[in-house]
Structure 1
Amino acid sequence: MALLAVLVTGAALYARGALPAPVPPLAGPFGYHDYARALDPVRPGGDVDFGGLVRERAALDRFVASLASVSPHNRPELFPTPEDGLSYWINAYNALVLQHLVDGYPDGVAASWFGRFYWGRAWPVGGERLTLWALEQRILFGEYADPRVHFALFRGTRGGPGLDGAPYQPDFLDAQLNDASRRFMGDKRHVRMEGTTVHLASLFKTRQQDFLAALPEGRGGNVLQFVWAFLPDTCEERPGCDTRGDLDRACGTQLDKCTLAFMPEDASLPDASAPLRP
């Protein structure tokens, strides 16, 4: 029983990212230069040339190694604003997902919410040993709670948020999060109208309370209010997309006349060399 208790406690600490990790010395000033180079294989549509990234992975590995030395938790003086901290954690999360996928390429790693992808591996990050689950649940949404971050996190699936081709930067973070949200809403894989039925990505169901909590007082408990805020006004950049005006006309000014339906996510790897599913 004592051994079982130790194992259960250890598992809980592991899942929470509460186990310590060594902190190696940093070779030079911390920055996102190597991560920016690692993002070179990202295509404009969000797919990734994984074959190229595998062959030229040194920059990605250097950036991930630098995370072991520095984080907003162990070096808060390097991240004096919330924007500094949040930019770090988003970049760290996306880089770890990329490395996880590269390590398993081409055989693949099951990018499933309920699989080992999110909790089966831990990385040293600023003196903590963090899984993707711990980084997301305890830090990104435990310490910051900005629902736009959902659209900035790369989850290794073609149906999820696309990977941005540049690091998130504190000076531009608000604009970058808005852009990520607009790209997600403007994609018919995530928001699609059919008469008075609005088909939404499953993310809007699994994390619905995050989006509802961001609505101003008096807007009611309708997740379409959040969707509306980031839909495009026109479809000049994305022909055939759905707009705010379309949503207003179909669902009424209170957005209460529509039925919601949630679409399954395409869990295939967003590999630029793989054909798109029909």
Structure 2
Amino acid sequence: MIAPKFIVIACALFFNPIIAQNNFDHNVWDQALLLNVSEDGKVDYNGFMRDSSQLYTYFTQLSENTPKESWTREEKLAYWINAYNAYTIKLVIDSYPIKSIKDLEDPWGKKFFKIDGEWYSLGELEHKILRKFGDPRIHFAINCASFSCPVVWNRAYTADNLNNALDTQTKKFINDPTRNTITKDKVSVSKIFTWYKKDFKVNGGDVKDFINRYATVKIDNQSKKGYKEYDWSLNE
């Protein structure tokens, strides 16, 4: 028999919203990612189409629970990173099958989704919201649905996992030889580091300093440097 005291405590935990530690539950998106993104970041767009009800449930949650001033910085950043990645999936599956996101007309400028009644584009989320946080690691968390982009993490970002996840994704990307080649003799890095050069100039350092913070092999001043060709083929 369950003790009455236990029942009272359990009911209080269930019904009292003040107990909640986070202002947004990304569990629906987390489950969709686990089902449709592999450990190495390959996206099953057909799977997302089959599970589209999960996506649209999540879009409703995003629209009805936008960040408030009372949210922590981590909660706000996790919300916008997940929103960017989820709506990128929507952009692709709305026109699937395609070979590349660049087959679409103005993929980052098109206002194709609403949050709290306001129309947004992916470009607005990235440039007017996400980059304003001043954390260059976000470039390795948001995904442009292409092979040369940072891989899609198959979990949702949350306030609790955010800092460790951003560090992990940054290290993974910088040390991935298919996206960056860093040896003692030659350095050929992603064009992300030139497109967003000013974002990586943090704490008085430059792009090289940022990369060296996470790279297994460090870049020195004598290395021959260049940029890799960007592969825009779909990340599936």
TM-score interval for Structure 1 and Structure 2 normalised by the shorter chain: 0.7 to 0.9
Aligned partner of 2:230 among 259, 262, 265: 265
Matched, 1:36 2:30: yes
* Counterpart in the other structure of 2:61: 66
Aligned residues of 2:141 and 2:169 also touching (Cα < 8 A): yes
**CA distance, structure 2, for counterparts of residue 204 and residue 30 of structure 1:** 32
**CA distance, structure 2, for counterparts of residue 229 and residue 194 of structure 1:** 15
Cα offset, 1:76, TM superposition? 3.4
**CA distance, structure 2, for counterparts of residue 127 and residue 205 of structure 1:** 35
DSSP 3-state at the match of 2:55: helix
DSSP 3-state at the match of 1:261: strand
* Counterpart in the other structure of 2:178: 189
Cα offset, 1:95, TM superposition? 0.5
* Counterpart in the other structure of 2:10: none
Cα offset, 1:188, TM superposition? 0.9
Cα offset, 1:34, TM superposition? 1.3
DSSP 3-state at the match of 2:178: coil
Cα offset, 1:134, TM superposition? 0.6
Aligned residues of 2:187 and 2:226 also touching (Cα < 8 A): yes
1:37 alignment partner AA: Q
Aligned residues of 1:201 and 1:263 also touching (Cα < 8 A): yes
Runs of 5+ consecutive residues of structure 2 not aligned to the other structure: 1-22
* Counterpart in the other structure of 1:145: 134
Aligned partner of 1:102 among 93, 110, 115: 93
Q: Which has the higher helix share?
A: 2
Aligned residues of 2:84 and 2:142 also touching (Cα < 8 A): yes
Of stretches 167-176 and 256-265 in structure 1, the one that deviates more from structure 2 is: 256-265
* Counterpart in the other structure of 1:172: 161
Deviation readout 1:175-209 (Å, 9 max, x if unpaired): 01001101101211222035532000010111111
**CA distance, structure 2, for counterparts of residue 177 and residue 103 of structure 1:** 28
Aligned residues of 2:145 and 2:235 also touching (Cα < 8 A): yes
* Counterpart in the other structure of 1:130: 120
**CA distance, structure 1, for counterparts of residue 100 and residue 124 of structure 2:** 19
**CA distance, structure 2, for counterparts of residue 87 and residue 130 of structure 1:** 17
Count, aligned residues: 213
Task: Flag the 1:109–1:267 CA change in 2: closer, same or farther, 3 A.
Answer: closer
Cα offset, 1:30, TM superposition? 4.7
Deviation readout 1:154-175 (Å, 9 max, x if unpaired): 1100110111111001012110
**CA distance, structure 1, for counterparts of residue 195 and residue 41 of structure 2:** 23
Of stretches 173-182 and 190-199 in structure 1, the one that deviates more from structure 2 is: 190-199
Taking structure 2 as the reference length, what is the TM-score of the superposition?
A: 0.83
Q: Identical aligned pairs, as a percentage? A: 26
Q: What RMSD, in angstroms, separates the aligned Cα atoms of the two structures? A: 2.0
* Counterpart in the other structure of 1:229: 213
Aligned residues of 2:101 and 2:145 also touching (Cα < 8 A): no
Cα offset, 1:38, TM superposition? 1.4
Matches within 5 A, 1:203-222: 203-212=192-201, 214=202, 216-217=203-204, 219=205, 221=206
Task: Flag the 1:174–1:209 CA change in 2: closer, same or farther, 3 A.
Answer: same
